């Protein structure tokens, strides 16, 4: 039998019995991947507090999950968590700060809002109709106005979600970062497919009952029926609709187009 140590090779060292092997600590990228897995739960903010139930959800059209499955790798490669000294300009993956302190920092410089802004349509029908018209016209300003903005997220949405408490807790800056990244990717896909194309809204459908997220009602699982010259098409254009005080906005444009 050939000696494995000849020619410069060395046998693997086996630790003595009873010696505990050190476990590698979780990397920042692993923590982000775990965050994306948690965010795959339907609606991203409902009342289900069992992480096993969230993992088994088949309705992965929460406002992050859909585009996250395609873009998580690329987003993680670009994302590098910054040091605590740079936290005001960047994102800290995990922190010992309280939710209240994280939210206070996130709100710095933002307008205080108590309701969805006046530009938000007063019905889901009007919201979806405006989306289809703006998409056909490639009106990115109008498409942006239909989305939950940073102030509305900070004051109306995030404080009432499950992400303020274990086991789902995520800092508001990280949750906002993920939502925006996936909205940008989803909107780019939608514009490539539909911008400049005559579109007519034939109908849409969402879950029968909205989820209650504090004072908000959130509809998910929505599909849109479009009439085009090439024929009818049923697509997913957005991740969810939030309603508060009779006004409506989209949570994001995550999709699988």
Read off the pLDDT of residues 178-219 as tens digits, 9 standing for 90 and up.
999 999 999 999 999 999 999 999 999 999 999 999 999 999
Q: Which residue has the higher pLDDT, 87 or 107?
A: 107
pLDDT at residue 17 tops 80 = no
In a domain, 248, yes or no: yes
Domain count, the chain: 1
pLDDT tens-place string over residues 101-144: 999 999 999 999 999 998 899 999 999 999 999 999 999 999 99
Q: Is residue 81 within 8 Å of 91, Cβ to Cβ? A: yes
In a domain, 229, yes or no: yes
In a domain, 232, yes or no: yes
pLDDT tens-place string over residues 142-152: 999 999 999 99
Highest mean pLDDT among 37-46, 64-73, 86-95, 125-134: 125-134
In a domain, 12, yes or no: no
What is the overall mean pLDDT for the chain? 76
In a domain, 23, yes or no: no
Q: Is residue 186 within 8 Å of 65, Cβ to Cβ? A: no
Distances in Å between the Cα of 49 and the Cα atoms of 4, 53, 161 are: 54, 8, 11
In a domain, 20, yes or no: no
> How large is the average pLDDT for residues 153-158?
98
Q: Is residue 174 within 8 Å of 35, Cβ to Cβ? A: yes
Q: What is the pLDDT of residue 191?
A: 97
Domain that holds residue 48: 28-252
Q: What is the pLDDT of residue 3?
A: 41
Of the candidates 63, 20, 54, 9, the residue with the CA atom closest to the CA atom of residue 179: 63
In a domain, 136, yes or no: yes
| The overall pTM is greater than 0.85 | no
Burial string for 168-191 (b: 16+ CB within 10 Å, else e) reads bebbbbbbbbbbebbbebbbebbb
Of the candidates 93, 84, 82, 90, the residue with the CA atom closest to the CA atom of residue 106: 90
pLDDT at residue 55 tops 70 = no
């Amino acid at each position: 039998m050939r000696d494995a140590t000849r020619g410069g090779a060395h046998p693997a060292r086996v630790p003595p019995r009873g010696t505990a092997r050190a476990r590698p600590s979780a990397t920042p990228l692993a923590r982000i991947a775990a965050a994306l897995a948690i965010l795959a739960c339907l609606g991203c903010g409902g009342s289900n507090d069992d992480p096993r139930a969230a993992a088994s959800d088949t309705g992965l059209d929460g406002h992050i999950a859909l585009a996250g499955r395609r873009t998580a790798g690329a987003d993680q490669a670009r994302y590098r968590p910054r040091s605590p000294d740079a936290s005001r300009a960047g994102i800290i993956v995990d922190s010992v700060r309280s939710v209240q302190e994280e939210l206070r920092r996130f709100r710095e410089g933002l307008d205080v809002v108590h309701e969805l802004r006046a530009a938000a349509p007063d019905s889901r029908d009007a919201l979806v109709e405006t989306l289809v018209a703006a998409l056909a016209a490639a009106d990115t300003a109008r498409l942006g106005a239909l989305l939950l903005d940073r102030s509305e997220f900070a004051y109306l949405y995030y404080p009432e979600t499950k992400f303020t408490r274990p086991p789902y807790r995520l800092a508001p800056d990280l949750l906002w970062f993920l939502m925006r990244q996936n909205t940008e990717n989803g909107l780019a896909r939608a514009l490539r497919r539909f911008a400049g194309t005559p579109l007519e809204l034939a109908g849409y459908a969402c879950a029968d009952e909205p989820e209650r997220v504090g004072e908000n009602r959130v509809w998910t699982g929505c599909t849109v029926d479009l009439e085009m010259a090439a024929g009818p098409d049923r697509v997913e254009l957005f991740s969810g609709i939030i309603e508060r005080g009779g006004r409506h906005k989209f949570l994001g444009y995550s999709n699988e187009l």
